Each structure stands twice: as structure tokens, then as C-alpha cells.
Amino acid sequence: MADFQTVHITLQNFVFGPAHLLDLDLPQAWTLQRGFSHPEIHASHTRLGRSWVASGDAWYLLRHEGHPWLLEFHLQVRPNPYAPPGDAGRAQVAGHEAWWRLYTQRRGLPWNRRDTPVLEVAWYCPATERGFRLRAVGRVPRAALEELRRAWLHSHCHPPPQAGV
């Protein structure tokens, strides 16, 4: 889609070597930057002829080029699906059933806690046997999180099927 850009996320680990994590779609004005901690690969496996992160955590920052917005972004992968909370909306990611939610969480120092918006999107990919949860947290307008959610729903957890195969 012209409104989105795809970021290919591959993680490197001394033990497991390179493993593909996700092809994440972001709105054009957003960039993915290294987070405060290095990504961790807990396990990897080979599916569809490729090495995949089967269990791991990756922390990034999402920055908007036109505004002073910075979001904490946590991408989690595990071998099982993430259970949807009761207030979750339904969607599709790469042809898989997904859930999402927007909510607020009290964050900050104890004497200065403020409601902070949180966006979560999660789905399970049977083709690569991996569950995903994407979580962004930061003080941005709700419309910015809606824009991110729309982009994330176009992400790919495995290559699309080849025509005629």
C-alpha cells in the first residue's frame, strides 16, 4: 500500500544466528529506531525453508517525523497465541484472525502518574507456529495510534503464498 512502508525485522543472535521476526508495516511518517534494550531471541526454528524467531522480545522506539512523538514499542513472539482481553476488537493480519485494543494505563513516577495511551495488536500464525503481540505506549493523540493500528494490520508474519503453487 502506498500509505505504508514495510520494515523487515531480522534479529541476530550469537547462538541462533540470523532469524526473521516480522515484516512490519508502518505509516510513511513513522520510523522504527533502536530501543533501550537489545532484542532477545529465546528460541528459533525453521519453517517454510527459513529461520524464524519462535520466541523472543524486541524493544524499539517509534518516532513520527512531523511531530515530537515518540512511542515505546515492544514486539513479542512466542509459540502460542495470546489470549484476547474481553474488550478487544477483531481484525485480520496476513489472513490470520487478530485482536486489538486501545486503552490507557497509569504511567510515570508515583507522584506524577498520568493516563498514557496503549495500542496492542496480537495474532497467531499457524504457518510459522508463532504468536505475535505488538504494543506501543506513549502520549500521542488517539488518531496517531489508530493510524499505526491500520498499518500494523497490513504486516506479514510469513511470505505470501506464490501464485500457482
- Domains, in order of start, for the chain: 10-74+81-152 (3.40.1410)
Summary mean pLDDT of the chain: 90
How many CA atoms lie within 13 Å of 102's alpha carbon, on the beta-carbon side?
14
| pLDDT tens by residue, 6-48 | 999 998 877 777 889 999 999 999 999 998 888 988 888 888 8
| pLDDT tens by residue, 78-122 | 999 999 998 999 999 999 999 999 999 988 788 888 899 999 999
What's the rounded Cα separation, in Å, for the pair 148 and 68?
Answer: 16
Unique residue bearing C-alpha cell 499505526: 148
Pairing state between β 30-34 and 70-78: unpaired
The cell numbers describing 145, all together, are: 495510534
3-state helix vs strand vs coil in the chain, percent to 5: 10, 60, 35
pTM here? 0.90
CB 145 within 8 A of CB 16: no
